[in-house]
């Protein structure tokens, strides 16, 4: 009986720690990263596209980036060592999203990061690759399953955590 209580207490402590880390990351994503791993101070988000510089027209951006219109700046230049092209974008309004906006899923920086990844896929492959619906079906409505579902829903914006 005592070992069952100890096991339950251990599981509860782990679940509580996971929830605390998730809330802390939502409030301040940079707190969970190693020193120096935060976003660039300039706000530029960059991907390397494995295409020639002449294949990318900065005036006719792929749809995910074109949707931002005048809200973003875009820079296209050769990648280092001739390994493709750098496609960079940043928000013109550098106002950082608040914790409440990030919690509500309205973070413009995360939306731009997602659009940049989708634009890279369109330029390289011609389509955005996605697994939808998830092949695993519905997860059991447990606290762990709910947490995993929330991470899965937010992954397209911020990447795999």
pLDDT in tens, 137-146: 666 678 887 7
Whether the pLDDT of residue 122 is over 80: the answer is yes
- 12 pairs with which residues across the strands? none
Do 72 and 101 contact (CB within 8 A), yes or no?
no
Backbone phi and psi for residue 93, each to the nearest 5 degrees, phi listed first: -90, 110
Tokens 């899965």 correspond to: 152
* Residues near 87 by beta carbon (within 8 Å), at least 6 away in sequence: 46, 47, 48, 49, 56, 74, 75, 76, 116, 119, 120, 123
Quick one: how many helices (H) and strands (E) in the chain? 5, 3
User: The pTM is what?
Assistant: 0.58
Give the C-alpha separation, 136 to 114, whole Å: 23
Residue-wise pLDDT tens digits, 49-87: 999 999 888 888 899 999 999 999 999 999 998 899 999
| Cα separation, 80 vs 44, whole angstroms | 17
Q: What is the pLDDT of residue 97?
A: 56
Q: Which two tokens stand for residue 96?
A: 């950082």
Pairwise CA distance, residues 117 & 115, whole Å: 5
Q: Starting from the edge strand earliest in sequence, which strands make up the sheet with 72-78, in order?
A: 45-49, 85-91, 72-78
Q: Hey, what are 50's tokens?
A: 């494995």
């Amino acid at each position: 009986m005592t070992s069952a209580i100890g096991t339950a207490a251990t599981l509860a402590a782990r679940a509580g720690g996971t929830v605390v880390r998730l809330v802390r990351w939502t409030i301040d994503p940079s707190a969970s990263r190693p020193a120096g791993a935060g976003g660039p101070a300039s706000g530029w988000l960059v991907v390397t596209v494995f295409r020639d510089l002449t294949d990318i027209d900065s005036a006719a951006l792929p749809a995910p980036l074109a949707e931002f219109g005048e809200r973003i700046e875009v820079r296209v230049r050769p990648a280092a060592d001739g390994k493709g092209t750098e496609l960079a974008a940043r928000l013109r309004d550098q106002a950082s999203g608040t914790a409440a906006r990030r919690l509500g899923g309205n973070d413009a920086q995360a939306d731009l990061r997602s659009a940049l990844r989708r634009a890279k896929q369109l330029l390289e492959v011609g389509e955005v690759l996605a697994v939808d619906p998830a092949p695993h079906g519905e997860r059991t409505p447990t606290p762990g399953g709910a947490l995993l579902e929330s991470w899965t829903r937010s992954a397209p914006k911020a990447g795999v955590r």
